[in-house]
Amino acid sequence: MKAKTLFLTLTLSLFFGTNSFAGDPNSSPETERDVRSEYSDFKNHHLLDNHSFKLFKYKSNEDTKYISFPLPIILWDNGFQVFSSSKFYFGKKVVNQNGSFYKLYHNKIYKTDELGRINYDKNNKVLNEKPLDLSITKNVAFILICSILMMVVFGRMAKSYKKNPIPSGLGRLLEPIVLYIRDDIARPNIGEKHYKRYMSFLLTVFFFIWFVNLFGLTPLGSNVTNNIAVTASLAVLTYLITTFTANKNYWGHIFWMPGVPGPMKIILAPIELLGTIIKPFSLMIRLYANMTAGHVVLMSILGLIFIFKNWIGGTLSFGLAFSLSLLELLVCVLQAYIFTMLSALYFGAAVEDHHH
């Protein structure tokens, strides 16, 4: 459940006076601890990737029923094993697929017996075999959706420019952003001579990060950049482009710095080489940490409503969370801008002409 869904639920609860906000004077410390534990588990689960889009749950005859949109499970285990994630029923059922049994445990798929037993060693590490998981998760789904959306939107913009140089529709909104990236990021940092080689990557990475961050604020969205593998992939692309397009002056300043005594060059060369790896690493961590921190803080503030259990605390927490969610809209585009700007700086350093 994302922030906007929580906003709607909590608003209705405040107006209709549900018991959870009324503040039960007879509630015990054990009950308060249970609420905190339950919400802590929910907050941690919110940050994880999932194999289905969970919509809501309800109780029927003392049984909890889940309503969700399942995604395909694709495993490589002596051949492809393909089935719907609904068969797992959120980890409550064991799936028998072509004679092999699989269980969803802590968002990971393990091979088990027909009873779904999970075995541990003395260090509490799971011993069950884990097949190669190629499933379409929420993060993968939103990456595909974002990619298709970008191809459709910018493909239509390109076609419209062939007919009329004046933008129309969505192009009026996106053209100033494209021009800003070209004139205020690419040209000043890369140089007039080389900036065109990198424009396609800079535009792609900017709009991709911006769009997936915005999707993460929707009720069914997934915080894609909260996944370290996604931010690492983007950083690796920046590193590879920088490395393979760099000129000899770039490598000369790394391995044999001009104007530096010979013995110092031998000492500084490994440090400079390590710096080429640290730069994309900082890109990865910065994007991952900032987006994760924003969601953790937002979910923590919303959790205070369940802890306070009164009108004043609940209303203040809700107002603060709503204000923070508006700030997150700015953070979405700010993180895309920072990643694009730093990438352009690295590209500019790689193709800078020799001035000595």
pLDDT at 98 over 90: no
Q: Which of 25, 112, 43 is nearest to 292 (CA)?
A: 43
DSSP secondary-structure letter at 121? Answer: -
Pick the more confident residue, 10 or 108.
108
Q: How far apart are CA 342 and CA 240, in angstroms?
A: 14
pLDDT tens digits, 191-237: 898 999 999 999 999 999 999 999 888 877 778 898 899 999 999 99
* CA dist 219 → 2, 149, 245, 298 (Å): 5, 19, 41, 14
> What confidence score (pLDDT) does residue 41 get?
61
Identify residue 271 by its one-letter amino acid code. Answer: I
> What confidence score (pLDDT) does residue 284 get?
93
- Average per-residue pLDDT in the chain? 80
pLDDT tens digits, 159-201: 888 887 777 778 788 889 999 999 999 999 998 989 999 999 9
Domain boundary assignment for the chain: 53-136, 139-351
Pick the more confident residue, 146 or 122.
146
pLDDT tens digits, 33-89: 566 666 666 666 666 788 887 777 677 776 767 777 888 999 998 889 998 888 888
> What confidence score (pLDDT) does residue 163 get?
80
Beta strands in 71-197 (DSSP E): 72-76, 80-84, 95-97, 100-105, 108-112, 132-133
Confidence band, pLDDT 50/70/90 cuts, at residue 147: very high
